[in-house]
Amino acid sequence: MARATEKLSFISSNAPDAQAARLELEALYGAHAPEDADVIIALGGDGFMLQTLHRMMNSNKVLYGMNRGSIGFLMNEYATDGLRERIERAVESEINPLEMVATDEDGAETHAFAINEVSVLRQSYQAAKLRVSVDGKVRLEELVCDGLMVATPAGSTAYNLSAHGPILPLVAPLLALTPVSAFRPRRWRGALLSNKAEVTIEVLEREKRPVNAVADNTEVKSIRLVRIVQSKQTTARLLSDPDHSWDDRILAEQFLY
């Protein structure tokens, strides 16, 4: 079934290169409001694409990114020619984000989604002390570390990789549980979990060792605990060029040296 490409909407970050690209493409292909478009073209870097994916969750809108930022891991190469044809040939990936429910010291709950990862991070000079449960069973009674994250395959090449976590193929039904500078147990390097698992992280010695929770760009200060599960009802749709698909990019990261 052919993908509709008649109505294109161009959105951009505030970067001058992205703004200039948007004006150039609108002059070539016309401009439609995002809510009326067949495909939304995001122009900027990875940060802008993440923001856009969050905004478009459950909208059923398809996103196609072109890099006008720095790294552009989530983006396709920028080119003005043959855009409709590129979109027609593009490979679609459906993303199910993590859902975080963080409870702070006052008992208030914050719900947020994360496409890359949910992380808990120490708030002060004191290392965090955490209790980790998976599906209601305590797996680590006490983890002393700078932080701990649950990463999706989509986010496995981001913060997770910098913390020496595993790279996960996009189609893998897995989540990465990765510590940041684990001090005790000293040899623990993390775990691979089913994407159906629910992870609960409790903060021990909260007054002495305060901890924040972060879901992509949503941060909650001074938490008691956080529950993390992959949402099956919430989706975002992303297009990538077939010769540079997201699967290929993640695979290529495993052979960098």
- Binding annotation for NAD(+): 46-47, 116-117, 146, 154, 157-162
First to last CA, the chain: 40
Q: Rounded to 5 degrees, what angle do the CA atoms 70, 117, 66 make?
A: 30
For residue 141, give the nearest of 156, 126, 131 by alpha carbon: 131
Tokens of 4: 């509709």
Active-site residue 46, yes or no? yes
The two tokens of residue 118 are 């949910």
Residues 6 or more apart in contact with residue 1 via CB below 8 angstroms: none
3-class SS shares of the chain: helix, strand, coil, % to 5: 20, 40, 40
The three-point CA angle 57-58-62 to 5° equals 70
Q: Where are the beta strands (DSSP E) in the chain?
A: 8-12, 39-44, 62-67, 91-95, 98-104, 109-114, 117-122, 128-134, 137-145, 147-151, 174-180, 191-194, 198-204, 211-215, 218-220, 223-230, 236-240
Q: Which residues are documented as binding site? A: 46-47, 116-117, 146, 154, 157-162
Identified catalytic residue from 46, 81, 243, 247? 46
Catalytic residues: 46
